Chain A
Amino acid sequence: MAHVALKNVNKIYGSGTRAVHAVQDLNLDVESGEFVALLGPSGCGKTSTLRMIVGLESISSGDIFFDDRRVSDLEPQDRNVAMAFETYALYPNFTVWENLAFPLEVRGVSEVEQRQRANEIAELLHITPILDQYPPNLSGGQQQRVSLGRALIRDPSVFILDEVMSHLDAHLKFQMLFDLKRLHRDLKRTMVYVTHDQVEALALADRVAVMSNAVLQQVGDRNTLYNRPANVFVADFIGEPPTNFFTVEPAQNGDSIKMIVTNADLTFALTEQTAAAVKVHGGNRFTVGIRPQNLHLDDKGDLQAEVLINEYLGERSILSVANSQAKFRALVSPDVTAGPHSSVRFSYDPADVLVFDEKTEALIV
């Protein structure tokens, strides 16, 4: 178990005009025993970051520390990291138990102890019945467990999981989410988990690091990411369906400020605190965001709109609505029957209104 620190880490692939800056000035601290998820869309640099932590990819500039040990130039075998791969990467010519024991075998552990540890891990992951089978004969879920087991069998400084659930079906995924959570609680290992699926990230991690375009956007627990997203990207990326955005112009009304949507007949009220922050920030155009679940159907509400589509999704429905040029969505109870062309009104809590700078897209607080 170790504390992991990334300091101004950069990764540049290629050189000259074809150079790609895959990770830019990344600073991240993972506390000892903490479970951190690296979340971002494909190509955002999260896997590059993780491969630099493991040592499979060289670091263009910056440093990585495990506790106080600088590991930037060490080979993966010298860093004492364990990794579970997206493609499982099991040794196809080994049985399951040989796969589990291989990290011990290369460390010269006696075969008796290898057997014993492999049995313990198999017990933990419920794979005892398949110990003598070969990986190609196993299902995806079983292979995933074996690959987790192979990583868990020794005592690594950091335990790294690379999109380990992207090839599992929904049912297995929830089972594995539960198991991983249980493993982390029982083993208290430092874990870094890379995924593009926000459900996995928010369900598992103590803190989530959101990346986009090679840049770390925000690190925080799920409440912070949900209620105080650092910028438009995080607000858009976290949450399903994504946050509704409107371009607005402020209108001063005594002490309070109202945000008037430029392309629709909609107005958002702000809390005093936000209004003060906007006043300090200055400017005459902003982006306002409000989450679909924070819009409530209410006949006396301020926001009027016409229903475009009512999507029934089982335990909830998504209403896609429009007010002149502005289209947005609201999460409503599935028994709402409002069909296309009907008129609805929404109310909201001014505390749920997020105001972003229009140029920098940063949250104004």
Chain B
Amino acid sequence: MSDIVRGDPSTYPDWFSRKKSTTPLIVSRWVPAILVGIPVFVLLAIVIYPTVWMFYHSLRDTNIQGLFMGNHEYIGFQNYATVVGSERFQDSLVHLAQYLTFGACLQVIIGTALALTLYEFVKSNAARTVILIILVLPMMLPPSIVGVLWRFLLTPSNGAVNQALLSLGLIDAHIEWFNAGVSLWSIIIADCWNWVALPLLIVYSGRVSLPPAVYEAARVDGANQWKVMRRITLPMLKEVIAIAFILRFTDAFKFVDLVYVMTSGGPAQTSELPTYIAFQRGIREFAIGEAAAYAIIIFAISAVLITLFLKYMKRVMKAQGLA
């Protein structure tokens, strides 16, 4: 026993060759099937089934009565034609573009600017934490509260915003925040206030994780702060900022709450977004088939945009050897 010769199994201790226990650790071969089956079932139940159901009804003349009585007929792509042909939907696409440009994009830009300013100019950790908490607070409020709050703030006659602008001398008369043409801007302002902290948090955490040695190298190489920001920080944060964009874009396509609380799409449907119309047609007016068609169209638009975005990201990252 004591003289073990390497390569000669006859000298190995007996535990080495003892037969391994044949009792399996997990008794049944059904266990893996069940473990995989549960998430598959959940996925089918809450994602796949409703999607298929929705697509099915988008091809039928379903309304609420028909849905419960079971009498609805196949009408081909007539629902889609109605949606695409309606002026209401076309207008809402313009509103969506306006919201994406000035809402989502501006939020990411402002959030990025705030995050980098905070990182560059506030050096004490305690101060950073306090400022971050203050900036993140609006994000913690439920959208209904945010909507009501901003309705009050923007009330034309005696709202705080108009009062402030007046007393600062920036305007001469009340801005009618909820008139046609302005009400969508009011929603965008409230939404910015609500969500600017999300890109801020994402970009800030990205900036924190950039390697300090690269910045030391840049200082030694003689670059000033502006040069470092433009040539090093922003390019290195490209992927992180893109992620913030994607998150805000996906949110934009399901953005209903503030529209509902602040303007209900009005006045005269001038602040409606496609998702709001889908909600309105389906839940308020019970045109299930048409609402389903809306949902599918919105899904298609967002899928195309986000695929393009991801393709671009992948190309950028591939060039840098990150993917």
Is A241 part of the contact surface with B, judged by Cβ < 8 Å? no
With A56-B216, A76-B219, A81-B220 as known contacts, state yes or no: A89 contacts B227, CB within 8 Å. Answer: no
Nearest to B237 among chain A residues (CB) is: A93
B319 contacts the other chain (CB 8 A): yes
Contacts of B231 in A (CB 8 A): 91, 102, 105
Q: Is B320 an interface residue (CB 8 A)?
A: yes
Assess A89 versus B216: contact at CB under 8 Å? Given A106-B227, A136-B320, A136-B321. yes
A330 within 8 A of B: no
Q: Let me know if A85 and B320 touch, CB within 8 A.
A: no
Of B211, B224, B319, B322, which one neighbours A77 at CB under 8 angstroms?
B224
Q: Contacts of B229 on A, CB cut-off 8 Å?
A: none
Note all chain B residues with C-beta closer than 8 A to A85. Answer: 213, 216-217
State in angstroms the CA–CA spacing of A150 and B213 once bound together: 14
Minimum CB–CB distance from B134 to chain A (whole Å) comes to 29
- Size of B's binding interface in residues, CB under 8 A: 22
**What size tier do the contact residues of chain A reach?**
20 to 34
CB of A314, distance to nearest CB on chain B (Å) = 22
Q: How many A-B residue pairs have CB under 8 A?
A: 76
A83 at interface (Cβ–Cβ under 8 A)?
yes
Chain B residues, CB < 8 A from A319: none
Q: Does A293 contact B (CB under 8 A)?
A: no
> Which residues on the A side are within 8 Å of B218 (C-beta)?
91, 102
Q: Are B220 and A82 in contact (CB under 8 A)?
A: yes
| Chain B residue at minimal CB-CB distance from A107 | B222
Interface flags for B170-209 (1: CB within 8 Å of A; 0: not) read 0000000000000000000000000000000000000000
Residues from chain A with Cβ under 8 Å of B321 in the complex: 133-137
Q: B238 to A106, Cβ gap below 8 A?
A: no
Q: Given A87-B211, A92-B236, A93-B232, are A106 and B221 also a contact pair (CB < 8 Å)?
A: yes
Q: Can you name the residue of chain B whose Cβ is closest to the Cβ of A153?
A: B221
Known: A91-B214, A93-B320, A137-B321. A102 touches B220 (CB 8 A): no
Q: Is B223 positioned at the interface, with any CB of A under 8 Å from its CB? A: yes
B66 at the interface (CB under 8 A from A): no
B317 to chain A, nearest CB (A): 10
Chain A contacts for B235, CB-based, 8 A: 93
Whether the pair B213, A77 counts as a contact (CB closer than 8 A) is no
Which B residue sits closest to A93, measured CB to CB? B235
Which residues of chain A from 17 to 31 have a CB within 8 Å of any chain B CB? none
- Say how far A268's CB is from chain B's closest CB, in angstroms: 42
- Judging by beta carbons under 8 Å apart, are A87 and B223 in contact? no
* Residue A239 at the chain B interface, CB threshold 8 Å: no
The yes or no answer to A75 lying at the interface (CB within 8 A) is yes
Q: A residues touching B (Cβ–Cβ < 8 Å)?
A: 54-56, 75-77, 81-83, 85-93, 102-103, 105-107, 133-137, 147, 150
Residues of B whose CB lies within 8 Å of any CB of A are 211, 213-214, 216-224, 227, 231-232, 235-236, 238, 319-322
